[in-house]
Amino acid sequence: MTATGDGATTPRILPLLMLLFAVGDLSTSLLVPSLPGIAREFGTPNVTAQLAISGFAVAFGLGQLLMGPLSDAFGRRPVLIGGLMLFGIGSVLAALAPGIGVLIAGRIVQGAGASAGYVLARAVVRDIATDDRQTARMMAPLFISSGTMMICGPLIGEALIPHGGWQAAILAGLLVAGFACAWLVASFRETLTERTTGGLNPIRMARTYSGLFVHGRYFAYLFTHCCAYGASYTFIANAPFIDLANGQAGPLGLGISVGVVMAGFLSGLLIARRLAGSIGVPQGAHYFVIASIVPVLVQVALHQAGMLHQYAYLALEFLTIALLGGMAPFTAAGVVIEAPGRAGSGAALLGASQMLTVASVIVVVGLLNDGTMLPLALMQIALLVAAVIGFRLTYGPIPKAT
């Protein structure tokens, strides 16, 4: 496995990258069904229990700002190994937590460690891809693995509750991370050929990030990706605390409901992988987001008419998440394409911005939650409209696909 970019290396490296990329999403989705139980066990409000998700998201995002430049300076392999070890420490701390404060602290450490796999899997793709469209095609399997974990995680997490409570969900994530670390140590060879040690200077690091942030096309992809992920996590983090049936009895449990919706993300990714060779990166990033607004508007209309049954709500949310899943490989490819020579830093800034957006959205919607889906849908609409407007204003004219 080398940095040649030869397509022959791709099948061998991608499965490992897919697992590394998905560790963070798995550890979060496993815990989601346990949030009400955590709130009851520690006697805390629901919004405090949600800090186990939003605290992880903040550390997951900020950690990438350091992991990216570290990998540009020292290589992808050592930083990946160090990140997985840090994730393990956080997992043990969280699993043994005697109170909500220690649990949140452990989740923060987990998030910082998991950030390495999330940012560096994308950087490795840029290391070995031969052109822009191959970058998008190789990004799709990463997000497919993430989507698969987000589907399976709530189902597994809910199944584990009778056999070990929320601690079992933490330990399940640790088991997967341990397997990934062993695989990495045994088989991963360095893909970075040119290192940039000067990037570790805090002043240069700040200049790098600020330079990327004000780069119009880079910012267009970053802003669109962040808004879309915020819209996705609006549902994921708040589903345990709303009436998914909208006041009408429905047979589906929480784990199945969340899993069904997140299957949409995987469906969209599969479609995007098929389309990546025939449409351009900006077209894929922009038009998927535009389409995703429609099913959310239908949700609100049905809710206001009193006609939004559980099945209709989940079907429309499935469609929304599917369209956002279709967008994800294009925006992720766009940020590394628009950061030539700084793929690690470019992916890190995207990840940090994404997760800070997610954490903020989780807190805001948690405070606004009235037990129905309406605050979630309104937040999703606001984020997606902002993404569409932001892309058009910052990217400039969108070229026709060739």
pLDDT in tens, 49-94: 888 888 898 898 889 888 888 888 888 999 999 999 999 999 999 9
Which distant-in-sequence residues (6+ apart) come within 8 Å of 22 by Cβ? 142, 145, 146, 148, 149
pLDDT value for 208: 81
pTM of the model: 0.72
Spatial separation of the C-alpha atoms in residues 265 and 319, rounded to whole Å: 9
What is the full per-residue pLDDT of the chain (402 aa) written as tens digits?
443 333 334 457 889 999 999 998 899 889 988 888 899 999 988 878 888 888 898 898 889 888 888 888 888 999 999 999 999 999 999 999 999 999 999 999 999 999 999 889 988 887 887 777 777 778 778 888 887 887 788 888 888 988 888 999 999 999 999 999 999 999 898 888 777 766 567 888 788 888 887 878 999 999 999 999 899 888 876 776 676 554 443 445 666 777 778 788 888 888 887 887 788 889 988 999 999 999 999 999 998 888 888 788 889 999 999 999 899 889 988 887 887 767 677 878 887 888 788 878 878 887 887 777 888 889 999 999 999 999 999 998 887 765
pLDDT value for 7: 38
The rounded mean pLDDT for the chain is 84
Torsion, Cα 248 250 256 261, to 10 degrees, reads -50
pLDDT value for 289: 94
DSSP letter, residue 337: H
pLDDT tens-digit map of 83-133: 999 999 999 999 999 999 999 999 999 999 999 998 899 888 878 877 777
pLDDT value for 250: 47
Q: Residue 6 has which token pair?
A: 């030869």
Q: Which of 401, 265, 257 is closest to 323 using CA atoms?
A: 265
Long-range contacts of 34-40 (CB under 8 A, 24+ apart): 34/157, 34/161, 34/165, 34/166, 34/169, 35/240, 35/241, 36/240, 36/241, 37/161, 37/165, 37/166, 38/100, 38/103, 38/166
pLDDT value for 243: 66
pLDDT tens-digit map of 218-240: 999 999 999 998 998 888 767 76
Spatial separation of the C-alpha atoms in residues 261 and 149, rounded to whole Å: 13
DSSP letter, residue 9: G
Q: Are 238 and 219 in contact (CB under 8 A)?
A: no
Q: Residue 2 has which token pair?
A: 């080398």
pLDDT value for 323: 94
Q: Where are the domains of the chain?
A: 7-188+215-395
Spatial separation of the C-alpha atoms in residues 129 and 137, rounded to whole Å: 9
Q: Residue 52 has which token pair?
A: 């186990």
pLDDT value for 4: 39
Residue 5 backbone phi and psi in degrees, to 5: 75, 5
The domain 7-188+215-395 belongs to what CATH superfamily? MFS general substrate transporter like domains (1.20.1250.20)
Q: Work out the angle between the directed axes of helices 132-187 and 10-31 (0-180°, nearest 10).
A: 80
pLDDT value for 248: 41
pLDDT value for 361: 84
